[in-house]
Amino acid sequence: MQQASIAILIILLTVAVYIAMTKLYVRFSYPVLIPVLTTTVAIILLLLAFHVSYDQYMIGGKWINSLLGPAVVALAYPLYNQRKILVKYILPIIGGVFAGLFSGMISGLLFAEVFGIDRNLILSIVPKSITTPVAIQIATGIGGVPSMTVVFVMIAGFSGVILGPKIMKWVRIRSYLGKGIAFGSASHALGTSKAFEYGELTVSMSSVSMTLCAVLGSVFGPIVVWIFHV
């Protein structure tokens, strides 16, 4: 009974904080105020302030986490609605995904090499632009540290969501198709959540790009590592 009460309290707290941060974002609309980021920071601060451990939080947090699967499956709806556009632009989509995937992997490798980062960390950076569950598997397979990969995936996601709109404005990417491919291939699920602000077509392109990056990244991740002799 006590466990159930704690779970309900944590779920209500998390939802309340997210709603509050969403209203804050709607009111001010600064990129750094995206609800996913501000809610994460707020929850961490609350846990620290009240000395609540991660395991205690996950009594209720695990139920929120379990909704990730249905949320991903729900992306099939906008994909179905945009199926004709997907077929029409299949080559630009695949080309954009390949460009995003390889630039994400290679830029991480070059950055790590320039700063003399340890080999294990370099291998952990390679799948940073791929959705977390797949990135963990890739990192494990190529000899990286899965826990560090999760950190790099989060950094890639948040930086893409915060800086992405500005960068696309600077390079004059106005196409909703291009924006969706950029968000999905660079910032995975977080990018797809940001894509909702641009409409159904952008969401569809982002979810397709995210999925293709996960599939292709599993194949080409080890090959990129082998080519660069990491």
> Helix/strand/coil (H, E, C) string of the chain?
CHHHHHHHHHHHHHHHHHHHHHHHHHHHCCHHHCHHHHHHHHHHHHHHHCCCCHHHHHHHHHHHHCCHHHHHHCCHHHHHHCHHHHHHCHHHHHHHHHHHHHHHHHHHHHHHHHCCCCHHHHHHHCCCCCCHHHHHHHHHHHCCCHHHHHHHHHHHHHHHHHHHHHHHHHCCCCCHHHHHHHHHHHHHHHHHHHHHHHCHHHHHHHHHHHHHHHHHHHHHHHHHHHHCCC
Pair 100, 213 in one domain: yes
Give pLDDT, residue 49.
94
Give pLDDT, residue 19.
94
pLDDT along the chain (230 residues), means of 10: 82 93 89 88 93 88 80 73 82 90 86 79 88 86 87 89 90 89 88 86 86 87 83
Tell me how many domains the chain contains.
2
Pair 85, 199 in one domain: yes
Pair 136, 89 in one domain: yes
Pair 28, 81 in one domain: no
Pair 33, 107 in one domain: no
Give pLDDT, residue 42.
94
Give pLDDT, residue 106.
87
Pair 85, 60 in one domain: no
Pair 28, 57 in one domain: yes
Q: Does residue 71 lie in a domain region? A: no
Give pLDDT, residue 230.
67
Pair 142, 32 in one domain: no
Pair 92, 133 in one domain: yes
Its domain, for residue 48, covers 2-66
Give pLDDT, residue 26.
87
